[in-house]
Amino acid sequence: MSEQFHQVLVIGGGVAGCTSALYGKRYGLDAALVERGAPGGQTATASLVENYPGFPGGISGLELAQRVHQQTEEAGIVFYNDAVEKLERESHGWRLQGERGTYRAPAVILALGAAPRRLGVPGEAKLLGRGVSFCATCDGFFYRGKTVAVVGGGNSAVDEALYLSDIAEKVYLIHRRHELRAEAYLQERVFARANLEIIWDAVVAEVVGEVELGHVLLENVRTEERTALQVDGLFVAIGHAPQTAWLEGVTELTEGGFVATDCL
């Protein structure tokens, strides 16, 4: 395995990580990024980013992620495609152990992002990638002209449903409450889509299928009545969880599993 030394190592190649590395570079530091996946993080999966200054009319998440990564490359920031497995404190800094190499630096910035939360219901894990997905922009094209469902009621879920409504014949938005939590302008778009139907007060109790997804079993949170909903694809958008379990004992974590930071 190779061993690399830099003045600053940023773990995470999303927008936050790239921004941190860019600032380090502008201060004259030898900064590098370590990212296990594709550059851009969660931003790359957004169908349209409309709240980022400088892009009237919005910009696709993928294009924004690509531009950010391009800027880091042009700044001379080294990008390591590796998964960090261990972080250890040394006398003069930190040692990162990855699957492909070892990295050392006096300073480390954690920009880990988060991973999609799972429903945790029977059948979900078994059918992951065979009808169950966490990314409409990644997998939506598989369901052109088909029937799909999105679980959630926040901005991410509504954005996924809107994106899929341009691809699928029918889209169901399943939400456990009787009102959406998404921003008003997104709700207006949802209510205006003819092929998009909201199923209120419902949760997914089970994902059913042998080789691929056949249907989902819904449970009404008020009556506990269960009904089957035939869909070809299920997109889960119920938030994200921090990927910090490997940092226990290394740095302080909050009750929610996030890295504790100073209050500003």
138 and 187 together in one domain: yes
Q: Compute how many other C-beta atoms are within 10 angstroms of the C-beta atom of residue 49.
A: 18
Quote the pLDDT of residue 259: 85
Pick the catalytic residue: 18, 30, 82, 135?
A: 135
Phi and psi at 200, nearest 5°, equal: -85, 160
CB-count burial class (<10 Å; 0-12, 13-18, 19+) for 42: middle
| Residue 122 belongs to some domain of the structure | no
| Residue 121 belongs to some domain of the structure | no
109 and 6 together in one domain: yes
Q: What amino acid occupies position 76?
A: G
Domain that holds residue 168: 132-238
152 and 232 together in one domain: yes
143 and 227 together in one domain: yes
Find the length of the chain: 264
Write down the residue that tokens 């938005």 correspond to: 173
What's the distance, CA 132 to chain centroid? 15
Pick the catalytic residue: 18, 30, 139, 166?
A: 139
CATH number, residue 194: 3.50.50.60
| Catalytic site includes residue 18 | no
87 and 153 together in one domain: no
137 and 102 together in one domain: no
107 and 191 together in one domain: no
| Residue 120 belongs to some domain of the structure | no
Dihedral of CA atoms 36, 118, 63, 173 in degrees, nearest 10, equals 170
12 and 101 together in one domain: yes
234 and 182 together in one domain: yes
144 and 188 together in one domain: yes
Over its length of 264 residues, how does the chain's per-residue pLDDT go in tens digits? 679 999 999 999 999 999 999 999 999 999 999 998 888 888 887 777 888 889 998 898 889 999 999 999 999 999 999 999 899 999 989 999 999 999 999 999 999 888 889 999 999 999 998 999 999 988 899 999 999 999 999 999 999 999 999 999 999 999 999 999 999 999 999 999 999 999 999 999 999 999 999 999 999 999 999 999 999 999 999 998 888 888 888 888 888 888 888 765
| Residue 258 belongs to some domain of the structure | no
Closest CA relative to residue 168, chosen from 218, 133, 201: 133
Alpha carbon separation from 89 to 96, 108, 143, 242, 247 (Å, rounded): 9, 10, 47, 22, 12
Identify any residues that bridge with 88 across adjacent strands, giving them in sequence order.
Answer: 95
Residue 163 makes CB contacts below 8 A (sequence gap 6+) with: 47, 48, 136, 137, 140
| Catalytic site includes residue 139 | yes
| Residue 125 belongs to some domain of the structure | no
| Residue 156 belongs to some domain of the structure | yes
138 and 233 together in one domain: yes
- Based on its alpha-carbon atoms, the radius of gyration of the chain, rounded to whole angstroms, reads 21
48 and 138 together in one domain: no
| Catalytic site includes residue 135 | yes
Quote the pLDDT of residue 50: 80
The whole-angstrom separation of Cα 69 and Cα 66 is 5
Pick the catalytic residue: 138, 159, 201, 263?
A: 138
The whole-angstrom separation of Cα 31 and Cα 105 is 9
| Number of independent structural domains in the chain | 2
| Residue 164 belongs to some domain of the structure | yes
